[in-house]
A and B are shown apart, each in its own frame.
Chain A
Amino acid sequence: MNPQWITQVRRYRHFYLFISPFFLLFAVFGLYPLLFSLYLSFVKWDGMTAMQWVGLGNFRRMLDDDILRRSLWNTLIIGLLYVPPMMIMAFVFAQLLNAPWLKLKALYRAALFVPCVTPMVVIAVVFGVIFSPEDGVLNFILQRIGHLLPFLHFQGEIPWLTSEDWSKVSVSILVVWRWTGYNMVLMLAGLQGIPADYYEAAEVDGASAFQRMWHITLPMMRPTFRFCGLLSLLGTIYMFDEVFVLTNGGPGTSSTNFGMYLFNISFDQFKFGYASCVAYSVAIFVFAAALLVNRLNRGEQEGA
């Protein structure tokens, strides 16, 4: 030990005392579970009986776990299905709400934000009725549209929740509905952060609306887009309640995403050791991906 280091600590001990609450709480509620979970990755444990050291057994098991593979694949598909439309809609709504001519902004903003503060229980009931294969609201509307516009060939009998092809689409629709408002608020903040002089200067120079969008808004919004993208990445991987209430991962495993799978193995099957192992492995990938996004972000900022 460095004696100087110790005297330093002793000298400033009051200050250390003042900052200690955070570190204590972090150690108990952050660091400790993190390390314990790492330890659990190497044991077999059902939560009740004694732990059994299995070394890398959990990792080996993970390699030929076809439901895990399926759930990661589903996670990817659901992400691809919902992130682009959600981002585009969030951006369009943010643009509209930022327009100077729009009245009742607060009302629209609140209306768009309501879905992400609505209790999941309510959402479950409402979307159950919307997607129901028996006289569901959505199928009813599609049927009506089909009658009005026969050339579209809408039969209005889409098995939203009972077919393996549609279950992911249904989940994605729910996610888009729920989280567009949240992203819109983030993007609105981004838009409002762009200095107005840029637009004024561009207008003086005779730039068209499209040029202003292309050369000012989009480049200036890039950090916001990345932030939203990062949140969506994490949200997609750990998405749980949307799937849980809507399809419970079915039919088959067609809508079981990673969050749902993790829930199943830990709280239905009580395989805490294996669940920790899977969670850790995926978390490492997510961490690496997030780091990459961040690095790209920084690189661009420096380059600009």
Chain B
Amino acid sequence: MTRSQITHPITQFLFCLTLLIPGCSASNRGSEQSSLLTQTASGNPRGDITVWSWNIAAKALMQATPAFERKHPGVHVHVEMTGARMQTRIMLALAAGVGAPDVASLQQTEAPYFISTRQFTDLTPVAEKYRSMFPRSAWNNCTLNGRIYAIPWDLGPCAIYYKRDLFLRYGIDPNRIKTWDDYIAAGQEILHKSGGRTKMLPLGSNDLESMFELLIEETGAQVFDGDGRIAINSAQSRQALEIIRRMRAAGICSDVPAYSQEWMAGFNDESIATYPGAFWLSGTIEDSSTDYTSKKGNWAVFRLPSVVPGGIHVSNLGGSVLVIPAQCSNKTAAWAFVEYALCSREGQLSLYQSEKLFPAFLPALKSPAIDARDPFFGGQHVGSFFAEGVTDIRPLNRTKNWTEAVGYLQQDLSHWASTGMNDPGFFHRLELKLESRLDEPSARSGDSQQ
């Protein structure tokens, strides 16, 4: 018997907490109070503010706090590390109308959902001047109807991490891998020369979604169009899926779930030659390749392959933002903190240096700290390597439905992978599924329905 009714107690607990506090129905105070922010933003901020963030991000903010408090002696910042389930905590606080922090961090991908609830301060009056200082792809997750409700924090520009010694041994030149076709060919060569021992990349059939997301940023596909209508059924989507199919069919993928035991083990043995991933993966690689660090310089990075020769070779996975809930009673101090942490070179660089969070603030990317040689990666200028091309990253339209849509995408991709990867109607069916489940029209519903 399995007495594990986790869902049930959690649900009940959540609901009962929410309603213990009277008047929980959400209030739309965001727009009224934003004017308050403009009026006082110029004044001298003072008071205590509370910031919620998760592990590494919270640590980085804690490190940045003393410098901020020296600049604004009247403000005291308390950074709280909320651990898992921060989403739920924020949601409870927003629903209850009390208890939200003054500043909170959100994942870039979930930001549009939270923003759509209109429970956050409209930062447009004070943040407008920074619009050109962040890449367009990052702003896309922070705005609603042209208004700014969140400030981009870090980016996740992607590249391919590879093991230099394996590439040398099998005679592969990473500089000649320009397209995904080259990448697959190199993978087959490594597979062949290693006697089938070394796979090119980890790509678990149950988590194809992030690879798909990485690829559609190159092909130019979108899940939603600019108006939030479903736009997944496109030639560009099929192009991305075809690359995944070819990679898997070539036998170069190790079918292990991301962050599983075997996925991590691949850092230290020869089972996996490369890890396509975002900048933030470099920290994990450095911390986990305990056997490889003794042979420093075995890891290096090369550019993401492009879909066609000379095509786009940048993508973004992950990243986060800071928001100021509308409940916040000291918006001036909260904004002063956000402005210092994210919209100044000093703030962003301190976050980068303490916890390797890659600045979305473009002026920070031009500093010598970013350009430093990284001994772990054999002296490569890893920071500026990743900084190159971040402004070319194609923005994805995420909308409030992103998380749910991606859930269905994930489901369908794993179904596709486990049933022969041959399904010409894949995106048509996914489109219909999204239409019926999200209550959103499809961009092409006119012609696809008839």
| Chain A neighbourhood of B118, CB < 8 A | 49
- Residue picked from A162, A239, A251, A254, most chain B C-beta under 10 Å: A251
| Chain A neighbourhood of B11, CB < 8 A | 33, 37, 262, 266, 275-276, 279
A51 contacts B418, C-beta separation under 8 Å: no
Which residues in chain A, 235-270, are within 8 Å of chain B measured between CB atoms? 235-236, 238-242, 247-254, 259, 262-264, 266-270
The answer to whether residues A164 and B419 also contact, given A33-B12, A33-B15 and a CB cut-off of 8 A, is yes
The interface stretch among B35-43, B252-260, B301-309 is B252-260
Is there a chain A Cβ closer than 8 Å to B282's Cβ? no
Is there a chain B Cβ closer than 8 Å to A84's Cβ? no
Contact partner of A29 (CB less than 8 A), chosen from B5, B16, B91, is B16
B426 to chain A, nearest CB (A): 12
Is there a chain B Cβ closer than 8 Å to A296's Cβ? no
Contact partner of A48 (CB less than 8 A), chosen from B12, B94, B415, is B94
Contact partner of A128 (CB less than 8 A), chosen from B16, B257, B412, is B257
| Chain A neighbourhood of B2, CB < 8 A | 175, 178-179, 232, 235-236, 238-239, 242
| Chain B neighbourhood of A175, CB < 8 A | 2
B409 to chain A, nearest CB (A): 12
| Chain A neighbourhood of B6, CB < 8 A | 240-241, 259, 263
Contact partner of B91 (CB less than 8 A), chosen from A161, A239, A270, is A270
Is there a chain A Cβ closer than 8 Å to B175's Cβ? no
The interface stretch among A129-137, A191-199, A204-212, A215-223 is A129-137
- Chain A residue nearest to B25 (CB atoms) is A50
B99 to chain A, nearest CB (A): 13
Spell out B's residues near A (CB within 8 Å). Answer: 1-8, 10-13, 15-16, 18-20, 25-26, 88, 91-92, 94-95, 113-114, 117-119, 204-206, 254-257, 260-262, 271, 403-404, 407, 410-412, 414-415, 417-419
| Chain B neighbourhood of A263, CB < 8 A | 6-7
A235 contacts B206, C-beta separation under 8 Å: no
Q: In the complex, what distance in Å separates the CA atom of A44 from the CA atom of B91?
A: 16
| Chain A neighbourhood of B13, CB < 8 A | 33
B179 to chain A, nearest CB (A): 27
| Chain B neighbourhood of A129, CB < 8 A | 261-262
B12 contacts A251, C-beta separation under 8 Å: no
Q: In the complex, what distance in Å separates the CA atom of A125 from the CA atom of B95?
A: 36
A232 contacts B1, C-beta separation under 8 Å: yes
| Chain B neighbourhood of A269, CB < 8 A | 403-404, 407
B206 contacts A259, C-beta separation under 8 Å: no
Is there a chain B Cβ closer than 8 Å to A277's Cβ? no
Is there a chain B Cβ closer than 8 Å to A85's Cβ? no
B403 contacts A268, C-beta separation under 8 Å: yes
B252 to chain A, nearest CB (A): 13
| Chain B neighbourhood of A88, CB < 8 A | none
- Chain B residue nearest to A229 (CB atoms) is B1
Q: In the complex, what distance in Å separates the CA atom of A118 from the CA atom of B14?
A: 26
Q: In the complex, what distance in Å separates the CA atom of A182 from the CA atom of B2?
A: 9
Contact partner of A259 (CB less than 8 A), chosen from B5, B20, B411, B415, is B5
B88 contacts A267, C-beta separation under 8 Å: yes
B95 contacts A48, C-beta separation under 8 Å: yes
| Chain A neighbourhood of B25, CB < 8 A | 50-51
Q: What would be 14 A-B contacts, judged by CB atoms less than 8 Å apart?
A: A32-B16, A33-B12, A36-B16, A47-B18, A47-B92, A48-B26, A48-B95, A128-B261, A129-B261, A240-B5, A242-B4, A259-B6, A270-B113, A279-B8
